Structure 1
Amino acid sequence: MRVLIIEDDPEIVKAISLSLKIRWPETQILSTHLGHKGIELAKVEVPDIIILDLGLPDMSGFDVLEKVRAFTSIPIIILTVKADEVNIVRGLECGADDYIVKPCSQLELLARVKARVRDRSHFDQQSILSYGALRFDPLTRLLQIGDKEVGLTAIESQIIYHLLRNTGHVATYSSLAEEVWGEDYPGSIDSLRVHIRRLRGKIEANPGNPKIILNRAGIGYFLAKPDNA
Protein backbone atom coordinates (compact mmCIF):
# COMPACT_ATOMS: atom_id res chain seq x y z
CA MET A 1 0.00 0.00 0.00
CA ARG A 2 1.25 3.47 -0.90
CA VAL A 3 0.17 6.35 1.35
CA LEU A 4 0.58 10.06 0.66
CA ILE A 5 0.61 12.27 3.77
CA ILE A 6 0.18 16.01 3.18
CA GLU A 7 0.88 17.52 6.60
CA ASP A 8 3.13 20.35 7.82
CA ASP A 9 3.79 18.96 11.32
CA PRO A 10 6.74 16.53 11.12
CA GLU A 11 5.79 14.89 14.43
CA ILE A 12 2.33 14.03 13.13
CA VAL A 13 3.82 12.70 9.89
CA LYS A 14 6.21 10.56 11.94
CA ALA A 15 3.43 9.23 14.19
CA ILE A 16 1.12 8.37 11.28
CA SER A 17 3.96 6.75 9.33
CA LEU A 18 4.99 4.63 12.31
CA SER A 19 1.42 3.45 12.95
CA LEU A 20 0.95 2.47 9.31
CA LYS A 21 4.32 0.71 9.12
CA ILE A 22 3.64 -1.32 12.26
CA ARG A 23 0.25 -2.46 10.95
CA TRP A 24 1.30 -2.89 7.30
CA PRO A 25 5.11 -3.27 7.13
CA GLU A 26 5.10 -3.14 3.32
CA THR A 27 3.53 0.34 3.32
CA GLN A 28 5.34 2.98 1.26
CA ILE A 29 5.09 6.47 2.75
CA LEU A 30 5.20 9.63 0.64
CA SER A 31 4.97 12.94 2.46
CA THR A 32 5.15 16.68 1.95
CA HIS A 33 4.32 19.77 4.00
CA LEU A 34 3.21 21.75 0.95
CA GLY A 35 -0.17 21.61 -0.76
CA HIS A 36 1.07 22.21 -4.30
CA LYS A 37 3.68 19.45 -3.91
CA GLY A 38 0.99 17.14 -2.57
CA ILE A 39 -1.10 17.71 -5.69
CA GLU A 40 1.92 16.88 -7.85
CA LEU A 41 2.70 13.70 -5.87
CA ALA A 42 -0.93 12.58 -6.06
CA LYS A 43 -0.83 12.90 -9.83
CA VAL A 44 2.62 11.36 -10.43
CA GLU A 45 2.89 8.70 -7.72
CA VAL A 46 -0.79 7.58 -7.71
CA PRO A 47 -1.02 6.56 -4.03
CA ASP A 48 -3.66 4.16 -2.71
CA ILE A 49 -4.85 6.72 -0.17
CA ILE A 50 -4.15 10.34 0.80
CA ILE A 51 -4.13 11.76 4.33
CA LEU A 52 -4.56 15.53 4.04
CA ASP A 53 -4.22 18.23 6.70
CA LEU A 54 -6.54 21.20 6.17
CA GLY A 55 -4.05 23.73 7.57
CA LEU A 56 -1.07 23.96 5.20
CA PRO A 57 1.49 26.80 4.89
CA ASP A 58 1.16 27.48 1.15
CA MET A 59 -2.52 26.88 0.36
CA SER A 60 -5.79 25.76 1.89
CA GLY A 61 -6.31 22.05 2.37
CA PHE A 62 -9.76 22.53 0.83
CA ASP A 63 -8.13 23.84 -2.37
CA VAL A 64 -5.77 20.85 -2.42
CA LEU A 65 -8.75 18.54 -1.98
CA GLU A 66 -10.69 20.07 -4.86
CA LYS A 67 -7.69 20.07 -7.20
CA VAL A 68 -6.87 16.42 -6.45
CA ARG A 69 -10.52 15.44 -6.87
CA ALA A 70 -10.46 17.01 -10.33
CA PHE A 71 -8.23 14.20 -11.65
CA THR A 72 -8.60 11.19 -9.32
CA SER A 73 -11.02 9.29 -7.09
CA ILE A 74 -8.24 8.11 -4.73
CA PRO A 75 -9.62 7.88 -1.16
CA ILE A 76 -8.82 11.03 0.83
CA ILE A 77 -8.98 11.35 4.62
CA ILE A 78 -8.81 14.90 5.94
CA LEU A 79 -7.16 15.87 9.24
CA THR A 80 -8.72 18.54 11.44
CA VAL A 81 -7.30 20.07 14.62
CA LYS A 82 -10.61 19.86 16.47
CA ALA A 83 -14.10 18.50 15.97
CA ASP A 84 -15.18 21.53 13.94
CA GLU A 85 -18.29 20.23 12.19
CA VAL A 86 -18.39 23.16 9.74
CA ASN A 87 -14.94 22.28 8.38
CA ILE A 88 -15.70 18.56 8.46
CA VAL A 89 -18.87 19.00 6.41
CA ARG A 90 -17.11 21.38 4.02
CA GLY A 91 -14.33 18.84 3.55
CA LEU A 92 -16.83 16.07 2.80
CA GLU A 93 -18.61 18.34 0.33
CA CYS A 94 -15.29 19.06 -1.41
CA GLY A 95 -14.77 15.36 -1.97
CA ALA A 96 -13.13 13.91 1.15
CA ASP A 97 -14.10 10.32 1.94
CA ASP A 98 -13.59 10.56 5.69
CA TYR A 99 -12.04 12.70 8.42
CA ILE A 100 -9.86 12.31 11.52
CA VAL A 101 -9.74 14.77 14.41
CA LYS A 102 -6.22 15.39 15.73
CA PRO A 103 -4.88 14.03 17.97
CA CYS A 104 -6.32 10.63 17.09
CA SER A 105 -5.75 7.16 18.46
CA GLN A 106 -3.74 4.61 16.50
CA LEU A 107 -6.79 2.32 16.45
CA GLU A 108 -8.98 5.00 14.87
CA LEU A 109 -6.35 5.92 12.27
CA LEU A 110 -5.81 2.33 11.17
CA ALA A 111 -9.53 1.56 11.09
CA ARG A 112 -10.28 4.53 8.86
CA VAL A 113 -7.39 3.90 6.48
CA LYS A 114 -8.30 0.22 6.17
CA ALA A 115 -11.96 1.03 5.54
CA ARG A 116 -11.31 3.66 2.89
CA VAL A 117 -8.91 1.44 0.94
CA ARG A 118 -11.52 -1.33 1.16
CA ASP A 119 -14.19 1.02 -0.28
CA ARG A 120 -12.83 0.67 -3.80
CA SER A 121 -14.08 -2.91 -4.12
CA HIS A 122 -16.67 -3.07 -1.34
CA PHE A 123 -19.75 -2.87 -3.55
CA ASP A 124 -18.48 -4.62 -6.67
CA GLN A 125 -20.84 -7.59 -6.39
CA GLN A 126 -23.77 -5.87 -4.69
CA SER A 127 -27.18 -5.46 -6.32
CA ILE A 128 -29.70 -2.62 -6.19
CA LEU A 129 -31.71 -2.40 -2.96
CA SER A 130 -35.24 -0.98 -2.68
CA TYR A 131 -37.55 -0.15 0.21
CA GLY A 132 -40.70 1.89 -0.28
CA ALA A 133 -39.76 5.03 -2.23
CA LEU A 134 -36.03 4.37 -1.71
CA ARG A 135 -33.90 2.75 -4.40
CA PHE A 136 -30.13 2.52 -3.95
CA ASP A 137 -27.54 1.46 -6.53
CA PRO A 138 -24.28 0.60 -4.68
CA LEU A 139 -22.15 0.69 -7.83
CA THR A 140 -23.06 4.26 -8.78
CA ARG A 141 -23.70 5.44 -5.19
CA LEU A 142 -26.98 6.95 -6.35
CA LEU A 143 -29.98 6.97 -4.01
CA GLN A 144 -33.40 7.59 -5.51
CA ILE A 145 -36.22 8.88 -3.30
CA GLY A 146 -39.32 8.92 -5.47
CA ASP A 147 -38.43 11.22 -8.38
CA LYS A 148 -35.40 12.70 -6.61
CA GLU A 149 -31.90 11.28 -7.14
CA VAL A 150 -28.89 12.15 -4.96
CA GLY A 151 -25.25 11.12 -5.05
CA LEU A 152 -23.74 9.74 -1.86
CA THR A 153 -20.21 9.63 -0.50
CA ALA A 154 -18.52 6.29 0.25
CA ILE A 155 -19.51 6.40 3.93
CA GLU A 156 -23.06 7.60 3.24
CA SER A 157 -23.41 4.73 0.77
CA GLN A 158 -22.31 2.19 3.36
CA ILE A 159 -24.70 3.62 5.95
CA ILE A 160 -27.75 3.57 3.67
CA TYR A 161 -26.75 0.14 2.34
CA HIS A 162 -26.61 -1.28 5.87
CA LEU A 163 -29.93 0.32 6.81
CA LEU A 164 -31.59 -1.06 3.67
CA ARG A 165 -30.28 -4.54 4.42
CA ASN A 166 -31.76 -4.32 7.90
CA THR A 167 -35.22 -2.89 7.20
CA GLY A 168 -37.65 -3.60 9.99
CA HIS A 169 -34.82 -3.65 12.52
CA VAL A 170 -32.68 -1.10 14.33
CA ALA A 171 -29.09 -1.09 13.06
CA THR A 172 -27.00 -0.67 16.20
CA TYR A 173 -24.25 1.91 16.45
CA SER A 174 -21.69 -0.92 16.65
CA SER A 175 -22.98 -2.69 13.53
CA LEU A 176 -22.94 0.56 11.56
CA ALA A 177 -19.41 1.35 12.73
CA GLU A 178 -18.26 -2.11 11.67
CA GLU A 179 -19.92 -1.66 8.26
CA VAL A 180 -18.26 1.72 7.71
CA TRP A 181 -14.85 1.29 9.36
CA GLY A 182 -14.50 -2.47 9.68
CA GLU A 183 -14.62 -2.28 13.47
CA ASP A 184 -16.08 -0.27 16.32
CA TYR A 185 -13.74 2.10 18.18
CA PRO A 186 -14.01 4.92 20.75
CA GLY A 187 -15.51 7.98 19.08
CA SER A 188 -17.22 6.07 16.27
CA ILE A 189 -20.71 7.07 17.45
CA ASP A 190 -19.82 10.77 17.20
CA SER A 191 -18.45 10.18 13.70
CA LEU A 192 -21.61 8.34 12.70
CA ARG A 193 -23.74 11.25 13.88
CA VAL A 194 -21.85 13.65 11.61
CA HIS A 195 -22.37 11.43 8.56
CA ILE A 196 -26.01 10.69 9.44
CA ARG A 197 -26.67 14.42 9.82
CA ARG A 198 -25.13 15.09 6.41
CA LEU A 199 -27.06 12.19 4.86
CA ARG A 200 -30.33 13.49 6.30
CA GLY A 201 -29.52 16.89 4.84
CA LYS A 202 -29.46 15.30 1.40
CA ILE A 203 -32.61 13.18 1.60
CA GLU A 204 -34.94 14.62 4.25
CA ALA A 205 -37.45 17.40 3.50
CA ASN A 206 -36.76 18.73 7.00
CA PRO A 207 -33.48 17.32 8.40
CA GLY A 208 -34.34 18.70 11.83
CA ASN A 209 -37.46 16.54 11.89
CA PRO A 210 -36.41 13.41 9.97
CA LYS A 211 -39.04 11.10 8.49
CA ILE A 212 -36.78 8.61 6.66
CA ILE A 213 -33.75 7.84 8.86
CA LEU A 214 -34.91 7.56 12.46
CA ASN A 215 -32.98 7.13 15.69
CA ARG A 216 -33.61 4.79 18.61
CA ALA A 217 -31.83 6.63 21.43
CA GLY A 218 -28.94 4.70 22.88
CA ILE A 219 -29.29 1.88 20.34
CA GLY A 220 -28.94 2.95 16.70
CA TYR A 221 -30.73 4.00 13.51
CA PHE A 222 -33.46 2.53 11.33
CA LEU A 223 -35.51 3.34 8.23
CA ALA A 224 -39.11 4.43 8.71
CA LYS A 225 -41.76 2.08 7.34
CA PRO A 226 -43.05 3.07 3.88
CA ASP A 227 -46.51 4.66 3.85
CA ASN A 228 -47.93 1.64 2.05
CA ALA A 229 -46.34 -0.92 4.37
Structure 2
Amino acid sequence: MKILIIEDDPNVLELVELTFELGWPDIKLIKAVTGEQGMNALESEPPDAVILDIGLPDTNGFEIVKAIRLFSDVPILMLTVRVDERDVVKALTLGADDYLTKPFRQMELLARIKAITRRSHQGDQDLKVSHGLWRFGKTLTELYHGQQVFHLTPIQGQIMQTLIKQAGQFVSAETLAVKIWGEHHAATADDLRVHIHHIRKKLDPSDSKLIVNKPGQGYMFSPD
Protein backbone atom coordinates (compact mmCIF):
# COMPACT_ATOMS: atom_id res chain seq x y z
CA MET A 1 0.00 0.00 0.00
CA LYS A 2 1.22 3.52 -0.84
CA ILE A 3 0.54 6.68 1.15
CA LEU A 4 1.27 10.13 -0.26
CA ILE A 5 2.00 12.93 2.21
CA ILE A 6 1.96 16.53 0.98
CA GLU A 7 3.63 18.51 3.76
CA ASP A 8 6.38 21.15 3.80
CA ASP A 9 7.46 20.88 7.44
CA PRO A 10 10.52 18.56 7.60
CA ASN A 11 9.86 17.75 11.26
CA VAL A 12 6.34 16.56 10.48
CA LEU A 13 7.60 14.55 7.50
CA GLU A 14 10.20 12.87 9.70
CA LEU A 15 7.64 12.07 12.39
CA VAL A 16 5.16 10.62 9.88
CA GLU A 17 7.89 8.54 8.25
CA LEU A 18 8.96 7.18 11.66
CA THR A 19 5.33 6.47 12.56
CA PHE A 20 4.83 4.25 9.53
CA GLU A 21 8.23 2.57 9.89
CA LEU A 22 7.33 1.52 13.43
CA GLY A 23 3.58 0.99 13.19
CA TRP A 24 2.92 -0.01 9.58
CA PRO A 25 6.22 -0.97 7.93
CA ASP A 26 4.57 -2.40 4.79
CA ILE A 27 3.54 1.11 3.75
CA LYS A 28 5.48 2.90 1.02
CA LEU A 29 5.51 6.60 1.93
CA ILE A 30 5.69 9.05 -0.97
CA LYS A 31 6.68 12.58 0.11
CA ALA A 32 5.93 15.92 -1.55
CA VAL A 33 6.66 19.35 -0.07
CA THR A 34 4.49 21.46 -2.40
CA GLY A 35 1.05 21.15 -3.89
CA GLU A 36 2.52 20.89 -7.39
CA GLN A 37 4.80 18.04 -6.38
CA GLY A 38 1.89 16.31 -4.71
CA MET A 39 -0.34 16.53 -7.79
CA ASN A 40 2.47 15.19 -9.98
CA ALA A 41 2.97 12.28 -7.58
CA LEU A 42 -0.76 11.52 -7.64
CA GLU A 43 -0.66 11.10 -11.40
CA SER A 44 2.68 9.28 -11.69
CA GLU A 45 2.30 6.94 -8.71
CA PRO A 46 -1.35 6.83 -7.57
CA PRO A 47 -1.48 6.27 -3.78
CA ASP A 48 -4.04 4.44 -1.65
CA ALA A 49 -4.47 7.49 0.60
CA VAL A 50 -3.26 11.08 0.90
CA ILE A 51 -2.13 12.97 4.00
CA LEU A 52 -2.50 16.65 3.14
CA ASP A 53 -1.35 19.77 5.00
CA ILE A 54 -3.62 22.80 4.67
CA GLY A 55 -0.77 25.33 4.70
CA LEU A 56 1.58 24.77 1.75
CA PRO A 57 4.21 27.10 0.24
CA ASP A 58 2.63 27.30 -3.23
CA THR A 59 -1.09 26.87 -2.47
CA ASN A 60 -3.41 25.64 0.29
CA GLY A 61 -4.80 22.23 1.05
CA PHE A 62 -8.35 23.26 0.22
CA GLU A 63 -7.37 23.93 -3.40
CA ILE A 64 -5.54 20.60 -3.57
CA VAL A 65 -8.60 18.72 -2.29
CA LYS A 66 -10.75 20.36 -4.97
CA ALA A 67 -8.20 19.50 -7.66
CA ILE A 68 -7.91 15.86 -6.51
CA ARG A 69 -11.66 15.38 -6.44
CA LEU A 70 -11.89 16.34 -10.11
CA PHE A 71 -10.32 13.02 -11.08
CA SER A 72 -9.87 10.79 -8.03
CA ASP A 73 -11.77 9.50 -4.98
CA VAL A 74 -8.58 8.57 -3.11
CA PRO A 75 -9.11 8.90 0.67
CA ILE A 76 -7.72 12.19 2.03
CA LEU A 77 -6.70 12.98 5.60
CA MET A 78 -6.18 16.69 6.27
CA LEU A 79 -3.31 17.55 8.61
CA THR A 80 -3.61 21.02 10.10
CA VAL A 81 -2.80 23.33 12.99
CA ARG A 82 -6.18 24.97 12.50
CA VAL A 83 -8.83 24.08 15.06
CA ASP A 84 -11.62 26.35 13.80
CA GLU A 85 -14.64 24.16 13.06
CA ARG A 86 -15.33 26.19 9.92
CA ASP A 87 -12.04 25.05 8.44
CA VAL A 88 -12.80 21.44 9.32
CA VAL A 89 -16.28 21.60 7.80
CA LYS A 90 -14.88 23.32 4.71
CA ALA A 91 -12.33 20.53 4.22
CA LEU A 92 -14.99 17.84 4.60
CA THR A 93 -17.36 19.71 2.29
CA LEU A 94 -14.72 19.88 -0.44
CA GLY A 95 -14.18 16.13 -0.25
CA ALA A 96 -11.69 15.34 2.49
CA ASP A 97 -12.45 12.16 4.42
CA ASP A 98 -11.04 13.10 7.82
CA TYR A 99 -8.79 15.60 9.56
CA LEU A 100 -6.15 15.56 12.29
CA THR A 101 -4.79 18.58 14.14
CA LYS A 102 -1.12 19.18 14.89
CA PRO A 103 0.56 18.20 17.10
CA PHE A 104 -0.82 14.68 16.70
CA ARG A 105 -0.32 11.32 18.35
CA GLN A 106 1.42 8.73 16.19
CA MET A 107 -1.01 5.91 16.90
CA GLU A 108 -3.94 8.20 16.20
CA LEU A 109 -2.50 9.02 12.78
CA LEU A 110 -2.21 5.31 12.00
CA ALA A 111 -5.74 4.65 13.23
CA ARG A 112 -7.22 7.40 11.09
CA ILE A 113 -5.35 6.34 7.96
CA LYS A 114 -6.47 2.76 8.45
CA ALA A 115 -10.05 3.96 8.93
CA ILE A 116 -10.21 5.94 5.69
CA THR A 117 -8.60 3.15 3.66
CA ARG A 118 -10.85 0.47 5.12
CA ARG A 119 -13.39 0.92 2.31
CA SER A 120 -11.17 -1.22 0.06
CA HIS A 121 -11.84 -4.23 2.30
CA GLN A 122 -15.27 -5.50 1.39
CA GLY A 123 -15.42 -7.63 4.55
CA ASP A 124 -15.80 -4.43 6.56
CA GLN A 125 -18.83 -3.33 4.54
CA ASP A 126 -22.22 -4.84 5.30
CA LEU A 127 -24.10 -3.42 2.33
CA LYS A 128 -27.27 -5.31 3.22
CA VAL A 129 -27.93 -2.94 6.12
CA SER A 130 -31.11 -0.97 5.40
CA HIS A 131 -34.06 0.75 7.06
CA GLY A 132 -37.21 1.61 5.14
CA LEU A 133 -36.15 3.42 1.97
CA TRP A 134 -32.61 3.89 3.26
CA ARG A 135 -30.04 1.47 1.81
CA PHE A 136 -26.46 1.35 0.60
CA GLY A 137 -25.35 1.04 -3.01
CA LYS A 138 -22.15 -0.64 -4.20
CA THR A 139 -20.11 0.73 -1.29
CA LEU A 140 -20.68 2.47 2.04
CA THR A 141 -19.95 5.75 0.27
CA GLU A 142 -23.26 5.48 -1.63
CA LEU A 143 -26.34 5.87 0.57
CA TYR A 144 -29.74 5.79 -1.10
CA HIS A 145 -33.11 7.07 0.02
CA GLY A 146 -35.40 5.56 -2.57
CA GLN A 147 -33.82 6.57 -5.89
CA GLN A 148 -31.91 9.54 -4.46
CA VAL A 149 -28.23 8.89 -3.80
CA PHE A 150 -26.05 10.67 -1.24
CA HIS A 151 -22.29 10.47 -1.63
CA LEU A 152 -20.54 9.98 1.70
CA THR A 153 -16.93 9.81 2.76
CA PRO A 154 -15.75 6.40 4.04
CA ILE A 155 -15.99 7.57 7.65
CA GLN A 156 -19.47 8.99 7.12
CA GLY A 157 -20.45 5.67 5.56
CA GLN A 158 -19.16 3.74 8.55
CA ILE A 159 -21.11 6.00 10.90
CA MET A 160 -24.32 5.56 8.91
CA GLN A 161 -23.82 1.81 8.63
CA THR A 162 -23.71 1.57 12.41
CA LEU A 163 -26.61 3.95 13.01
CA ILE A 164 -28.87 2.35 10.39
CA LYS A 165 -28.13 -1.11 11.77
CA GLN A 166 -29.29 0.16 15.18
CA ALA A 167 -32.07 2.43 13.85
CA GLY A 168 -34.38 3.60 16.62
CA GLN A 169 -31.77 2.95 19.30
CA PHE A 170 -29.08 5.20 20.69
CA VAL A 171 -25.50 4.27 19.87
CA SER A 172 -22.91 5.67 22.25
CA ALA A 173 -20.23 8.03 20.98
CA GLU A 174 -17.60 5.57 22.23
CA THR A 175 -19.11 2.71 20.21
CA LEU A 176 -19.08 4.87 17.07
CA ALA A 177 -15.51 5.99 17.69
CA VAL A 178 -14.29 2.40 18.10
CA LYS A 179 -16.12 1.39 14.92
CA ILE A 180 -14.43 4.17 12.95
CA TRP A 181 -10.97 4.55 14.46
CA GLY A 182 -10.42 1.28 16.34
CA GLU A 183 -10.10 0.36 19.98
CA HIS A 184 -7.01 2.48 20.60
CA HIS A 185 -8.47 5.66 19.13
CA ALA A 186 -7.71 9.11 20.46
CA ALA A 187 -10.68 10.78 18.82
CA THR A 188 -12.65 13.35 20.78
CA ALA A 189 -16.37 13.98 21.06
CA ASP A 190 -15.84 17.05 18.87
CA ASP A 191 -14.33 14.91 16.09
CA LEU A 192 -17.44 12.76 15.98
CA ARG A 193 -19.76 15.74 16.31
CA VAL A 194 -18.23 17.40 13.24
CA HIS A 195 -18.76 14.25 11.15
CA ILE A 196 -22.36 13.89 12.35
CA HIS A 197 -22.99 17.56 11.59
CA HIS A 198 -21.71 17.10 8.06
CA ILE A 199 -23.80 13.96 7.51
CA ARG A 200 -26.91 15.86 8.60
CA LYS A 201 -26.17 18.65 6.13
CA LYS A 202 -25.79 16.12 3.31
CA LEU A 203 -28.84 13.99 4.02
CA ASP A 204 -31.37 16.67 4.93
CA PRO A 205 -30.21 20.14 5.96
CA SER A 206 -33.72 21.10 7.11
CA ASP A 207 -34.34 18.04 9.31
CA SER A 208 -32.20 17.99 12.43
CA LYS A 209 -34.19 15.01 13.77
CA LEU A 210 -32.97 12.54 11.16
CA ILE A 211 -30.02 11.84 13.46
CA VAL A 212 -30.79 12.79 17.03
CA ASN A 213 -28.39 12.91 19.92
CA LYS A 214 -28.91 12.86 23.66
CA PRO A 215 -26.18 13.60 26.23
CA GLY A 216 -25.01 10.43 27.91
CA GLN A 217 -26.75 8.17 25.37
CA GLY A 218 -25.19 9.00 22.03
CA TYR A 219 -26.71 9.20 18.56
CA MET A 220 -29.78 7.61 17.00
CA PHE A 221 -30.93 7.29 13.38
CA SER A 222 -34.62 8.17 13.55
CA PRO A 223 -36.10 8.71 10.06
CA ASP A 224 -39.67 7.78 11.03
TM-score norm. by structure 2 comes to 0.90
What is the aligned partner in structure 1 of residue 112 from structure 2? Answer: 112
Measure the CA separation in 2 of the matches of 1:150 and 1:27.
Answer: 31
Residue pair 2:119, 2:140 contacting (<8 A) in 1 also: no
Rate the CA distance shift 1:106–1:182 in 2: closer, same or farther, 3 A: same
Q: What are structure 1's unaligned runs of at least 5 residues? A: none
Residue pair 1:66, 1:94 contacting (<8 A) in 2 also: yes
Measure the CA separation in 2 of the matches of 1:54 and 1:136.
Answer: 32
What is the aligned partner in structure 1 of residue 218 from structure 2? Answer: 220
What is the aligned partner in structure 2 of residue 175 from structure 1? Answer: 175
Q: What are structure 2's unaligned runs of at least 5 residues? A: none
Rate the CA distance shift 1:118–1:200 in 2: closer, same or farther, 3 A: same
Rate the CA distance shift 1:91–1:166 in 2: closer, same or farther, 3 A: same
Deviation digits for residues 49-98 of structure 1 (CA, Å, limit 9, x no counterpart)? 11000110111212222222222222111112122221211111222111
Matched letter for residue 213 of structure 2: N
What is the aligned partner in structure 2 of residue 28 from structure 1? Answer: 28
Residue pair 1:123, 1:139 contacting (<8 A) in 2 also: no
Rate the CA distance shift 1:125–1:60 in 2: closer, same or farther, 3 A: closer
Measure the CA separation in 2 of the matches of 1:76 and 1:125.
Answer: 19
Residue pair 1:51, 1:76 contacting (<8 A) in 2 also: yes
TM-score norm. by structure 1 comes to 0.88
Measure the CA separation in 2 of the matches of 1:48 and 1:190.
Answer: 27
- Residues 43-52 or 64-73, more deviating: 64-73
Rate the CA distance shift 1:125–1:63 in 2: closer, same or farther, 3 A: closer
Give the secondary-structure state (helix, strand or coil) at the position aligned to 1:39.
Answer: helix
Report 1:50-199 matches (<5 A). Answer: 50-122=50-122, 126-137=126-137, 139=139, 141-145=141-145, 148-183=148-183, 185-199=185-199
- Tell me by how many angstroms 1:104 deviates: 1.0
Identity %: 38
Measure the CA separation in 2 of the matches of 1:93 and 1:205.
Answer: 13
Residue pair 2:143, 2:151 contacting (<8 A) in 1 also: yes
Moved over 4 A (4+): 122-125
Give the secondary-structure state (helix, strand or coil) at the position aligned to 1:171.
Answer: coil
Residue pair 2:77, 2:99 contacting (<8 A) in 1 also: yes
Give the secondary-structure state (helix, strand or coil) at the position aligned to 1:25.
Answer: coil
Measure the CA separation in 2 of the matches of 1:27 and 1:136.
Answer: 30
What is the aligned partner in structure 1 of residue 202 from structure 2? Answer: 202
- Tell me by how many angstroms 1:140 deviates: 6.3
RMSD of equivalent CA atoms? 2.1
Measure the CA separation in 2 of the matches of 1:177 and 1:189.
Answer: 9
Matched positions, count: 224
Deviation digits for residues 178-207 of structure 1 (CA, Å, limit 9, x no counterpart)? 221223533332211000001111223535
Rate the CA distance shift 1:74–1:205 in 2: closer, same or farther, 3 A: closer
Rate the CA distance shift 1:2–1:136 in 2: closer, same or farther, 3 A: closer
